[in-house]
Amino acid sequence: EAQVTQNPRYLITVTGKKLTVTCSQNMNHEYMSWYRQDPGLGLRQIYYSMNVEVTDKGDVPEGYKVSRKEKRNFPLILESPSPNQTSLYFCASSLIRGSNEQFFGPGTRLTVL
Amino acid sequence: GENVEQHPSTLSVQEGDSAVIKCTYSDSASNYFPWYKQELGKRPQLIIDIRSNVGEKKDQRIAVTLNKTAKHFSLHITETQPEDSAVYFCAAWVNNAGNMLTFGGGTRLMVKP
C-alpha cells in the first residue's frame, strides 16, 4: 500500500531533550516536506527536500533540522525542544515538487513541557 | 515570500446548501492552487487543484475558480452533505527557486443536517 508513515504518533517530552520524528514513504517520491499545524495558522512548512542530500528551509525552520540521506526517509530533528514547538507535525511527499499532490503522513502530536 | 489568506475561518451551512471558501495570494508568479480537506483527527487530503492556465475546474459537487488578475481563488461545494464537515485549506505554489507550498489558515465547515 502506497503510504507515508511517521513515528512516533504521540510524544510528550521536556525542554531541551533532543528528539527525532521519523518519516518514510514507499512511493519513490522525490519531494518531501515537514509542516507544523497550529490552530488558526494553517499548515506552515518547516523544511523541504527536492531529492537526496538536497534540503531547504521553509517558512518556520528555526529550532529544527532535517536530513535526506535516502530517498524514502526524511527525519525531523529537534536538538533542544522548547514549549513553543508544541504542535501537530505532518510529513508529506509528492512525486517531483510542491506543485503536485502532497501525500501526508498521519501526523505526530508533540508536547514539550 | 508568498502569503495566502483564507476566508471565512468558520462556515456553517444547512445540508443541501452551497458553501464557498475564498483565498487570496500575494505572489503573481504562483501557478498551482490545491485545496485540501482535513477531517477531525485525520491527515489533510487533496480534493481538487487548479493550475494557472485554467480558470475553472469541476469534480462532481466540488469546483474551484481562479482569477489571476485579482489573485484570488475559491472553492465551491454544492448540495452540501454532513460528511463535507471538515477543515478546508487552500494553498499556493510559486514556480521559482523556492519550492514551497504556502497554505491558508483554514476554514472549518459545518454542515447541519
Residue A52 pLDDT greater than 60, yes or no: yes
> How many inter-chain contacts (A to B, CB under 8 Å) are there?
61
Strand pairing partners for B81? none
Mean pLDDT to the nearest integer, A42-47: 93
What does the pLDDT look like over A2-20, one tens digit per residue? 899 999 999 999 999 999 9
Task: State how far the Cα of B93 lies from the Cα of A33, in Å rounded to an integer.
Answer: 14
> pLDDT tens track of chain B, all 113 residues?
788 999 999 999 999 999 999 999 999 889 899 999 999 999 999 999 999 888 999 999 999 999 999 999 999 999 999 999 999 999 999 766 567 789 999 999 999 99
Q: What is the pLDDT of residue B24?
A: 97
Predicted pLDDT of residue B100: 79
User: Confidence class of residue A41 from pLDDT cuts 50, 70 and 90?
Assistant: confident
E strand residue ranges, B1-113? 4-7, 10-14, 19-25, 30-38, 45-51, 56-59, 62-67, 72-77, 86-94, 101-103, 107-112
| pLDDT for residue B2 | 84
A89–B contact, CB cutoff 8 A? no
Partners of B51 on chain A (C-beta within 8 Å) are 99
B43:A45 CB<8 A? no
What is the predicted pLDDT for the residue at B97?
Answer: 55
- Mutation to test the A interface, candidates B24, B42, B99, most A Cβ within 10 Å: B99
Q: Do B100 and A48 touch (CB under 8 A)?
A: yes
Distance from CA of A81 to the nearest CA of B (A): 24
Residues sharing a CB contact under 8 Å with residue B67, sequence separation 6 or more, in sequence order: B55, B73
Q: What is the pLDDT of residue A102?
A: 93
Check pLDDT > 80 for residue A43: yes
**A40: distance to nearest CA of chain B, Å?**
5
Select from B1, B43, B49 the Cβ nearest to the Cβ of A90. Answer: B43
Whether A5 and chain B come into contact, CB under 8 Å, resolves to no
Q: For position A91, what pLDDT does the model report?
A: 98
pLDDT value of residue A51: 92
Burial of A39 (C-beta count, 10 Å sphere; 0-12/13-18/19+): exposed
pLDDT of residue B89: 97
Nearest CA in chain A to B4: A42
Closest residue on chain B to A41 (Cα)? B105
